[in-house]
Amino acid sequence: MAMTREQAWDLLSKYNKEPFHLRHAITVEHVMGWFAEHLGYGEERELWSLVGLLHDLDFEMWPEEHCRKSQELMRQAGVDKIVIRATASHGWDHCVDLKPELPMEQVLFAVDELTGLIGAAALMRPSKSVADMELKSLKKKFKDKKFAAGCSRDVIARGAELLGWELDRLLGDTLEAMRAEEQAIEQAVAEAGAKDVICDFTHDFSSFFGEKLGPLIKKYKILGGPLDKALQAVIG
């Protein structure tokens, strides 16, 4: 069926409650919409955005069945087969055997991990924003394998290969997308009640940035110090 954004959000929020996951879904939603316009698929922007919003539908509750359980949930909800396949294909070669074939699928595969890396880099900036982030700064973070280690550089590089792009193009375009969509993302996050990601979800950031982060966040919470220091100690 042709699903509205409201229906997609209701489905997402049925299985996802953590602000960390909701923020990621919203971020990828907007980045996918930007790429649809940027690559000449403007008439499909709503579809690309929907795929971005729902791509991790099953991850919070069924991480061990990621990209498999989501197909079942979407079929039960009557979601279009195009959306089901596109969302599942971002787990190619590590969750499912569905190679991204369509441009929409390839872009999702390429930007999913990368949006997390860019978001992590933004948290370390005084502005907490991508607005003043330069490509050379992002490239430096990309090369530093200890920074945001949960973001697979191999997947990002493979995504660029799927698209037939140089890595610099993927990094630059995704950074541009996040700049262009930043205000819309923050507005959607605030409306969804997913604003306070860092403070509330130690577990998610621990798995994302590395095992040392959880104890550090707890330490700084107890001491009343800024959480930025805990983050900086691990990924700065």
Q: What is the pLDDT of residues 165-179, one digit of tens each?
A: 999 999 999 999 999
**Sorting pLDDT into bands at 50, 70 and 90, what band is 7?**
very high
What confidence score (pLDDT) does residue 221 get? Answer: 36
pLDDT at 209 over 80: no
What confidence score (pLDDT) does residue 158 get? Answer: 97
Q: What is the pLDDT of residues 37-67, one digit of tens each?
A: 999 999 999 999 999 999 999 999 999 999 9
What confidence score (pLDDT) does residue 1 get? Answer: 53
Mean pLDDT of the chain: 87
Percent pLDDT > 70 in the chain is: 82
pLDDT at 148 over 60: yes
Full 3-state SS string of the chain: CCCCHHHHHHHHHHHCCCHHHHHHHHHHHHHHHHHHHHCCCHHHHHHHHHHHHHCCCCCCCCHHHCCCHHHHHHHHCCCCHHHHHHHHHHHECCCECCCCCCHHHHHHHHHHHHHHHHHHHHHCCCCCCCCCCCHHHHHHHHHCCCCCCCCCHHHHHHHHHHHCCCHHHHHHHHHHHHHHHHHHHHHHHHHHCCCCHHHHCHHHHHHHHCCCHHHHHHHHHHHCCCHHHHHHHHHC
pLDDT at 195 over 90: no
Predicted TM-score (pTM) of the model is 0.84
**Which of 135-144, 152-161, 189-198, 223-232 shows the lowest per-residue confidence on average (mean pLDDT)?**
223-232
Phi-psi category of residue 100: left, alpha or beta, with phi > 0 → left and psi -120 to 50 → alpha: beta
What are the Cα distances from residue 77, in Å, to 1, 14, 21, 80? Answer: 9, 11, 20, 9
**Sorting pLDDT into bands at 50, 70 and 90, what band is 2?**
confident
Q: What is the pLDDT of residues 66-96, one digit of tens each?
A: 999 999 999 999 999 999 999 999 999 889 9
First and final C-alpha spacing in the chain: 45
225 or 136, which is more confident?
Answer: 136
What confidence score (pLDDT) does residue 10 get? Answer: 97
**Sorting pLDDT into bands at 50, 70 and 90, what band is 226?**
very low
Per the CB < 8 A criterion, the answer to whether 216 and 232 are in contact is no
Percent pLDDT > 90 in the chain is: 79
Region 145-158: mean pLDDT is 94
